[in-house]
Amino acid sequence: MEFPADQPMRVQATQEVVDYVVASGIAPLPAHHELVARTEKETGDKAGMRIAPEQGALITLLARTVGARRAVEVGTFTGYSSLSIARALPADGHLLCCDTSEEWTRIARDGWESAGLAGLIELRLGPALETLRALPVEEDIDFSFVDADKTGYAAYFEELVVRTRPGGLIVFDNVLYGGRVLGDEPVTGNAAALREFNPALAADPRVDVVMLPLADGLTIARKR
Ligand SMILES: C[S@@+](CC[C@H](N)C(=O)[O-])C[C@H]1O[C@@H](n2cnc3c(N)ncnc32)[C@H](O)[C@@H]1O
């Protein structure tokens, strides 16, 4: 590995580097390992939808850093990210999980039980936008993680930002969308939505934003 003379050093995220990064941070819970095994066995080619373990460690750290007591997750799947958030909450904390899939979230529920965190987590099945809109408009959410349909990110942000306390965080996954947000080749659907969402969020005066090239890209927005 050479240090370039004219620009900052950036290490490529090879599998070896990723393994090293994961081993050097907050370790996944045994329940994380259990649900990864079940996800691979029971969801087939959908298993890659879960967040990466290095992202899990980061969201645990972020939720702890802001002292999160009230948290929201949009897109739970089989529970990897929800466990990463819930483990950061205090005993009187609350994580509201939004998803549409009974089948996938059954695996998540088992994971929450296994980790002893089920008492902190409430799952609402149904379109996340409806669930968010039904919440009172009070600035009492400390931490949110958004990882559902990418075409909904802008609307999820609007509902969450008015309910987030100043200094609270809203974190978005898959913001690089396999690199398809870059360039000017025509894209549709999720990639097109993210191509519009990313610069709009970066310019939004209500938040300070940083995008990290972590896994498929993670954006952290802090409410001003
Ligand atoms: C990428 S997966 C989430 C992965 C999860 N964060 C994890 O760490 O395993 C996306 C999830 O969003 C859910 N989803 C998609 N559209 C949704 C919607 N409109 N409302 C609620 N959930 C939705 C899907 O059912 C799926 O479980």
pLDDT digits (tens, 9 = 90+) for 108-131: 999 999 999 999 999 999 999 999
pTM to 2 decimal places: 0.98
Q: How many other CB atoms are found less than 10 A from the CB of residue 137?
A: 9
User: What is the CA(34)–ligand 1 centre distance, in A?
Assistant: 19
User: What is the CA(87)–ligand 1 centre distance, in A?
Assistant: 20
Exposed/middle/buried for 8, CB within 10 Å: 0-12, 13-18, 19+?
exposed
pLDDT tens, position by position, 22-61: 999 999 999 999 999 999 999 999 999 999 999 999 999 9
User: What is the CA(39)–ligand 1 centre distance, in A?
Assistant: 14
Q: Does the C-beta of 80 come closer than 6 Å to ligand 1?
A: yes
ipTM of the complex in this document: 0.99
The CATH architecture that domain 15-223 belongs to is 3-Layer(aba) Sandwich (3.40)
> How far is the C-alpha of 36 from the C-alpha of 111, rounded, in Å?
10
